[in-house]
Structure 1
Amino acid sequence: MNWLAKINLPIVAKKLGPFKSALLLFSVIGLCLFIGYRLGNYYHGYQAKTMKQQKLRLDDLYLQHGETLKRIHTLEVELDVERIANLNAQNTIKELEQVHFEVKKELAFYHKIMAPEKQADGVVIDQISIQPTESEQYFQFLVVLVQQKLKKRYAKGFIEVSINGSENGRPKTIALSKISSLTKKELSFSFQYFQRLSGAFTLPKGFRPESVTVGVVLPKGKWQKYRRIEEIMPWPKLEQNVP
């Protein structure tokens, strides 16, 4: 920039004369205006291109946002439908359970009339099942008790289980306490409507089971009299072979 400082404008104007000085001045001004105009057009075009790209990107974002909102609304509708279906299914299950309970109650009523020895103060044995396991001579059992009295108090007591069969050609009965680690507390019940009691046992080798005896004992208490019922179920035909 030192060369600019060396230029003496008055001397240049004096040497060129008034006309040429004015012509030079207008030329410089015109050149500056032309350069400014071209630069302005360049930056204007650049800004217009950038704004167009930004607009396209913004439109794409709006489109994605709209698709996302549509997807969210669809998922919300599906969730509401599934929630309603689940609620209906739960209501249906409750209704079926109520129907099942009413059928059990009617069945227990007829049991009470036709076989009073099969109920104890409204408590009946609803189910007895024996299932084999992968281990030899190892079985699982399930006993379901149901109370069918209209004015229900809590039925309290315990069950007694024994396996009837033969060993070495002679009849033999084995109490559950001899072949299982279950305690009396684990075989006790306290319920108002129904209760499931389950456990496992191991039969001794050489013992051939023929039936299962389940006794339900209601000890004498403040609100109940002593009652005892007993039911014998033939040993089921199981997949596991008993030697």
Structure 2
Amino acid sequence: MITLYQRGKVLPLLKGHKLIISELKNKFGAFQFYLILIVMIAVTVYLGFFWGNANYTQQQMTISTHEKSIYNLKLENEKLIKNLNILGVELEVAKLTQQQHFIEIGKSIDVEKDLRTQLAFYQQVMAPELNEQGFLIEGFNLEPALSDNSFRFELVLMQQNKTKNTLKGNLKVTLIGSENGKAKQYTLDSMLSDQEQKSLTFSFKYFQVIAGEISLPEGFQPEQVSVHADMFQFKRKKGELTTVFDWVINPY
């Protein structure tokens, strides 16, 4: 039933087309009909080709525009990366310059401290009227020695009297600290590396520097240095003085 129905629909349609074609042939003639048909086909092909070419040209223009945009973005990106690298280098140079300035400032501060110390020292020696009169334990300086747990020390003494006579005396230097978690004290002369220098004495008119090297006992952690001096002048005891210093190790 379906096939008959479809045939019933299709056959009249084909017959109608044939009749139209026959009428056109009879009206224009076979030559003119086929000529018109060829012209229509040619126009159709030309219009299709023209439309396709126009569409292709438009696509090529769009692709070219996108490629130019990508190229420009790539150039701009490279420029930004270059500027970023330059800024990074400038930042590193600025950091290095700042660090160098800090180092120079630190050195200047250290030099100023040394100059002030030297100035105070020579003022006390050459111009004692600027300070209190009498005997002075100026300083106890430390720096590490080559051996482990060994240190070199310098003990600076001076007198500040306007009329300076030779001043003699004995020193007792005590290292105060801890050992194995308990308070502990050692005398400096018991740690001297030089076996011949068992007692600390002084004899000077203006100032004197007593130097030596000590080795600390294993496990001992010094915190302070107590320097006690008994002074004699003309074989008579003139007085005594005790000064306490913090245990501070100066670098090389």
TM-score (norm 1): 0.48
TM-score (norm 2): 0.46
